[in-house]
Amino acid sequence: MFYHESEHSYAFLNTSIDKPAPEGRWTSGPSFDDRGNFRTEKAQPLGQEPSLGKARSGAGAQNEQM
């Protein structure tokens, strides 16, 4: 069986701006498979800002998106 651990394998990514991550089995302590430890991380954007095209006419977009 192929197993690849990434830096985010055991991380709970908190996307809340003003609230701490909830306490739970998935935020700290040993993992269920005993291959790592759970931890909490603040979610950060990765990569570049996307370059999106303009919305199609009649798509229901706001004026700023046209």
Is the CB of residue 35 less than 8 Å from the CB of residue 1?
A: no
Distance, in Å, from the CA atom of 48 to the CA atom of 40, rounded to the nearest integer, reads 24
| Domain segments of the chain as ranges | 7-44
Q: Is the pTM higher than 0.75?
A: no
Segment 36-48, tens digit of pLDDT: 899 998 888 888 9
Contacts of 20 (CB under 8 A, 6+ apart): 14
Segment 1-57, tens digit of pLDDT: 445 567 778 888 899 889 998 898 889 999 888 888 999 988 888 889 888 888 778
